[in-house]
Structure formats: C-alpha cells, structure tokens
Amino acid sequence: MEPQAQPSLLLAAFPPELAGLYDSPPAGWQVRCTGVGAITAAATTARLIAELKPKRVLFVGTCGAYDERFAIGDLIEVSEALSISMEEADGRAYRPSIECVRWPGTLTFAQPLGLPSCTVAVPAAISKTVEGAKLLAQSASAEHLEVTGVFAACQGAGIPCGAVLGVADYVGPTAHEEWKANNQRVSNAMIDTLKAKGVFQGD
C-alpha cells in the first residue's frame, strides 16, 4: 500500500471567511475552522496537526486596520504575529523576558503572492477606541484575534505556516458595524485572489 500524501491545511476562524471552501475543499487540502480567539485557535490547530499531519498550514480571515496604511478591502500577508495588550504598549504591564510573544510567518509559496506583508497584533480582546488603535499602531499595522495561536501551534510542531488577511474595518468605535458590512465581501475577494494566484493548485 502506498503511503498517503500529506495534505495542506487551510484554516479560518469560522466558515464564512472561507467563502465556500469549507464545503468544497480544493484538491489536496483539508479545510477546518479554529474557532474564535488565540487560545481556542492554538488548541484546535495543535489537535488538527496531530490528527491530519499536514505539510503546511495557511490561515485566512479578516482583520482591522489601525490606520490608513491599509484600506478596507486590502489584502495582507502576515509577516509576524504579535501578542500584545494596550497595557503593555503604554508601559502599565509587562511579561517575563523568557515569554515568546512574536511568531514569524514561515510559509513560502511557489509563486510570491505580491501582497504587502506586515506585523499583525493579537490582543486578548477587540480594541474599540481610537486611542487604543493609535497606541497599538506603534507596534503593528492591523489587529486580529487568532493568528498568534495558529502560528504558535504550527511552530511548536515544526510545520510551515502563514496567514493572509483581508481588511474589513478600521479599529475603533465603529469597527463592528464596518466588519458586519464588509466581512463577507472581503472574504470572498480574498479567496478569489488566492485562487487566481494558484495557491490551491498543484497539491
């Protein structure tokens, strides 16, 4: 019996951000959802790695931009996932020096995606003030909730991992309404772009 080929693993927090791929996975890919939040995402990703033994992991989703470096609808490749809080950013809290708070994206593509890459911050909860966005913008360009957990689990298992996110809102008091208005459109466009760039081919 020939050994079974290792799949690639495509992840998102919940099915709408997969724009139809949850029910119709590309050939050679397993498609799953991590749930919301970094801790849940880390636990789910670790379990899926143990079960599926993927050769690589790609996370897709939407994020909030901290400022006008990115516009709604822009796509970004995550170069680094940063675990941070507003209290840390303004000096009111700190972490032990031996704690890992940064995880790089390690996945390479057969053809470069040609997307801007940046550090993405992952706080424990969604930031909802202009002041908070300005503070965290000193360390990152955008905010997300799961990518640190996904990257930490993958790198702990030695699996190449990456993330592509679509900007669906600007972090601040109107972010949730913007996200609800834009999330599905941005998710659909992101998956269409990845398909067009051949990300899901050749597996």
d(CA 142, CA 156): 24
d(CA 135, CA 154): 29
Residue 159's contacts (CB-CB under 8 Å, 6 or more residues apart) are 49, 54, 55, 56, 57
The pLDDT value given to residue 110: 86
Q: Do 30 and 53 form a contact (C-beta atoms < 8 A)?
A: no
Low-confidence residues of the chain: pLDDT under 50 = 1
Domain chopping of the chain, boundaries: 8-196
Contacts of 4 (CB under 8 A, 6+ apart): none
Q: CA-to-CA distance for 135 and 129, rounded, in angstroms?
A: 10
| Residue 111, pLDDT score | 87
Q: List, in order, residues 6 or more apart from 62 with CB less than 8 Å away.
A: 17, 165, 166, 167, 168, 169, 179, 182, 183, 186, 187, 190
In DSSP terms, 78 is beta-bridged to: 118
Q: Report the distance separating Cα 187 and Cα 180, nearest Å.
A: 12
- The amino acid at 4: Q
Q: What is the pLDDT of residue 202?
A: 62
Q: What confidence score (pLDDT) does residue 105 get?
A: 97
What are the tens digits of pLDDT across the range 146-174?
999 999 999 999 999 999 999 999 999 99
User: Tokens 């993927």 — which residue?
Assistant: 54
Query: Is 0.85 topped by the overall pTM?
Result: yes
Domain 8-196, CATH number (from 3.80.10.10, 3.40.50.1580, 3.40.50.300, 3.10.110.10): 3.40.50.1580
Of 193, 18, 162, 139, which is closest to residue 78 (Cα–Cα)?
162
Q: What are the residue ranges of helices labelled H in 13-90? A: 38-52, 86-89
Q: Which residues lie across from 83 on neighbouring strands?
A: 122
